[in-house]
Structures are given as C-alpha cells and as structure tokens.
Amino acid sequence: MLGPRSKLTKLVIRLLAIFIGALLTILIAVPLLGPCWHLLHGDAISFEGWRVPVPKGFYARKSETATVMWKQSLGIPFFNVPYGHISLFRPPQQVFSFDRNYGRFKSELIQDASEKGYRLRSERTVSVGDKPAYCLEFKRPSPDARSLVRCVVEGSPLAIFYEGDSKYVPDVFATLQGISRENGPMGMLQKSSRL
C-alpha cells in the first residue's frame, strides 16, 4: 500500500505531465493554424467588395471592425519569435483621395510611428485592382526587426495595415498586388458568407 507521500508525488508528476503536454500542444498547434485555415477556407477572403488573397502560412479572423490575417511561428505565445498580422479595415474617412488626404495621412503616421520607435524606410505606390495604393513602410532600428506598413487605396474606403517581423513585408505587398474587385451580385453575397 502506498503512503500519503507517495500518492502526493504521483499526483504532482501527473499534473506536471499534463501541464507540459498542454504547453507542447499549444506550441505545436499555433503555427499550424495558417495551413489548416487554408485547407478549410481556400486562399482568399472577401472584404468590403474586394477579393483579398491570404498569404501562405497566414490565417484570417473577422471582427466587427476589421479582418486580420495572422502569421505565427513556433514558440508563440511563450517566446519572442517572428509574427505578423495584416489588418484590413474601413478608415474613418469614407473614400481616400491622394490630393485631399495623403499629406495628413503621411504626417500623422510618421509622428505615430516615431513615437513607437520606428523610422520611415520607404514610400511606394502599389496597384490594387485598377487603383493605386499609397504605402509607407517603417522599421525599428533595433535588432528585433519589427516593421510597420500602412497603405490606403485611392478612391476607396479600404486601408491595409501590417505590423510584425520584417521578413513578412514581401507577403504584405504580394497581398496588395493580388487584391481585386469582386464581380457582380454573387461577389457581394460571398462577402457575408466567407470566413
């Protein structure tokens, strides 16, 4: 017959094994969210009348105010490992106009980014469907390799923001170049049903 001390030791070992098993399951499962999402949902989402490609390894989540695509690496949420998220949303001004809005857009973003330790790295124009998107890319000069990308689409209420590891910035620009308008009433119906 086992004594109370032996029973307590077995209980502690079992609880420790369960805890380690749960931790390992989380560490392994989180990076698989992207590939699993693509298997279930395909390679694109609908957002505000646009068809938006979801980069390989990213998965998408929809909220009331935005759609966010996440890329998470092995080790999240317990370690400081590369991650990235692309947010699609409708900014407060309904339709962006370069002539009317770009100066303010740029100055506000530069100020906000510099307060967070980022510096402007590049300004570029990317084609989104048949419209230009104006993008600002910021990077932290520290060794953590974090970047911000902020884009708005001309004549549209579509804004795309990225935050995360610099190595995923090419995925952001590839996503932008792959965005297209959804066609006809079927495209508009898909907008509410997908995701």
Q: Which class in CATH covers the domain with range 6-193?
A: alpha beta
Q: Work out the burial of residue 191: count CB atoms within 10 Å of its CB; fewer than 13 is exposed, 13-18 middle, 19 or more buried.
A: middle
pLDDT the model gives residue 12: 84
DSSP classification of residue 155: T
pLDDT the model gives residue 190: 38
Q: Please state, in angstroms and rounded to a whole number, the distance separating the CA atoms of residues 103 and 100.
A: 8
Residues whose CB is less than 8 angstroms from the CB of residue 87 and which lie 6 or more positions away in sequence, other chains included: 66, 67, 68, 69, 160, 161, 162, 163
Count Cα neighbours of 144 within 13 Å in the Cβ-side half-sphere: 14
| Predicted confidence (pLDDT) per residue in 5-39, tens digit | 788 888 888 888 888 777 777 667 777 788 888 88
| Predicted confidence (pLDDT) per residue in 103-146, tens digit | 999 999 999 999 998 999 999 999 998 899 999 999 988 777 79
Q: Please state, in angstroms and rounded to a whole number, the distance separating the CA atoms of residues 125 and 138.
A: 15
